Chains A and B, each alone.
Chain A
Amino acid sequence: MQTAFDESIEVEFRNVSKGFRLAEGRTLREFLPALFRGNGFTEPFYAVRDVNLQIRRGETVGLIGRNGCGKSTTLKLIAGVTAPSIGDVYVAGRVSPLIELGAGFHGDLTGRENVHMNGSILGMSSKDVDRQFNDIVDFAELWDFIDTPVKRYSSGMYIRLAFAVAVHAEPEILLVDEVLSVGDAFFQEKCIERMHQFQREGTTIVVVSHATQLLSEFCQRVIWMDHGHVIADGPAAEIVRQYAATVPHHQEAAV
Chain B
Amino acid sequence: MRNVPSHLIAFWGRRDLLWHMTIRHLRGQYKQSALGWAWAFVNPLTQMLILSFVFSKILRVPSEDVPYPLFVFVGLVPWMFFSNGIGSATDSVTGAASLVTKVYFPREILPTAAVNTKLVDLAFGLIILAGMMVYYGYPPEATALWFPVIFVVQFTFTLGLSLPLAALNLYFHDVRFLVAQTLFLWYFLTPVLYPVDMIPQQYRWIFDINPMAIVIHAYRRVILHGDAPDIGRLAIGFAISLVIFLLGYYAFKKMEPGFADSI
Contacts and interface: CB of A to CB of B under 8 A. Distances in A.
Interface residues of B, number: 25
A252 to B, nearest CB: 29
Interface in A107-145: 108-109, 113, 116-117, 120-123, 125-126
A193 interface: no
Contact of A81 (B16, B31, B260): B260
A79 B27 contact: no
15 contacts: A26-B172, A31-B172, A80-B104, A95-B104, A97-B102, A100-B98, A103-B103, A109-B27, A116-B20, A117-B20, A117-B23, A117-B24, A121-B17, A121-B20, A122-B103
A121 B100 CA distance: 11
B173 interface: yes
A103 B102 contact: yes
Interface of B: 14, 16-17, 19-20, 23-24, 27-28, 31, 98-105, 172-174, 257-258, 260-261
Given A20-B261, A108-B31, A109-B24, A81 B173 contact: no
A61 to B, nearest CB: 20
A97 B103 contact: yes
A251 interface: no
Q: Which 4 A-B pairs have the closest CB atoms?
A: A83-B257, A80-B104, A103-B102, A120-B17
B261 A82 contact: yes
B35 to A, nearest CB: 17
Contact of B103 (A83, A104, A113, A116): A104
A122 B258 CA distance: 20
A82 B27 CA distance: 29
Contacts of A185: none
Contacts of A76: 101, 260
| From A99, A120, A126, residue with most partner B Cβ within 10 Å | A120
| From B100, B104, B173, residue with most partner A Cβ within 10 Å | B104
Contacts of B24: 106, 109, 117
B90 to A, nearest CB: 15
A29 interface: yes
A97 B14 CA distance: 17
Contact of A79 (B16, B103, B174): B103
Nearest to B100: A81
Contacts of B20: 116-117, 120-121
Contacts of B28: 106, 108
A27 interface: yes
Nearest to B178: A28
B31 A82 contact: no
A120 B103 contact: no
Contact of A82 (B14, B16, B174, B260): B260
B16 A125 contact: yes
Given A103-B103, A116-B20, A29 B261 contact: no
Given A20-B261, A76-B260, A82-B260, A108 B105 contact: no
Given A79-B104, A81-B102, 8 more contacts: A28-B172, A76-B260, A81-B103, A99-B103, A109-B27, A117-B23, A121-B17, A121-B105
A81 B104 CA distance: 5
Nearest to B24: A106
A82 B257 contact: yes
